[in-house]
C-alpha cells in the first residue's frame, strides 16, 4: 500500500460494533486478503513440486492467516492433479524481536 493511499470508507463494510469508533478507514478488504492467500497457496504448491510441506505457525497472531492458507493448500491438494503431504506444527515465542 502506498503512503498516499486513502483506503476505503468504513461504511462499505460490515464492521463489528465494538470497532466502529476505533476504525477510520479500511485499507485492505478481506476479499483481497483471501485472494492473495489463495495465490500464495498456489505459489507454494508450484514451488514445492511433490516435496513434503512442513507448515509451521507462530502462535497467537498468525493463527487465522495460517488456517486460511492451509485451507487453500488442502483445497488444491483435493482438486489438483497432484497431492502433496503436509505436516503442521505450532510454536510460541516469548518475543517477536
Domain that holds residue 14: 8-92
Residue 2 lies in a domain: no
Strands 53-58 and 8-9: unpaired
Strand partners of residue 25: 9
CA atoms within 13 A on the CB side of 15: 17
Closest residue by Cα to residue 56 from 34, 33, 87: 87
Residue 69 lies in a domain: yes
Cα–Cα dist 13/4, whole Å: 21
Question: How does pLDDT run across 13-65, given as a tens digit for each residue?
Answer: 888 899 889 988 888 888 889 999 999 999 999 998 889 999 999 887 788 89
CATH number at residue 65: 3.40.50.2020
Residue 3 lies in a domain: no
Residue 75 lies in a domain: yes
Residue 24 lies in a domain: yes
Question: How does pLDDT run across 67-90, given as a tens digit for each residue?
Answer: 999 999 999 998 878 788 999 999
Number of independent structural domains in the chain = 1
Q: Is the pTM of this model over 0.85?
A: no
**Comparison of pLDDT for 33 and 97, the residue scoring more:** 33
Residue 1 lies in a domain: no
40 CB burial (10 A radius; 0-12, 13-18, 19+): middle
Amino acid at each position: 500500500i502506498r503512503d498516499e493511499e486513502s483506503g476505503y470508507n468504513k461504511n462499505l463494510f460490515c464492521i463489528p460494533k465494538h470497532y466502529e469508533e476505533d476504525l477510520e478507514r479500511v485499507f485492505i478488504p478481506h476479499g483481497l486478503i483471501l485472494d492473495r492467500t489463495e495465490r500464495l497457496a498456489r505459489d507454494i504448491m508450484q514451488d514445492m513440486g511433490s516435496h513434503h510441506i512442513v507448515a509451521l505457525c507462530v502462535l497467537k497472531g498468525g493463527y487465522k492467516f495460517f488456517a486460511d492458507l492451509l485451507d487453500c493448500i488442502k483445497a488444491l491438494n483435493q482438486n489438483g492433479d497432484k497431492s502433496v503431504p503436509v505436516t503442521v506444527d505450532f510454536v510460541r515465542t516469548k518475543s517477536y524481536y
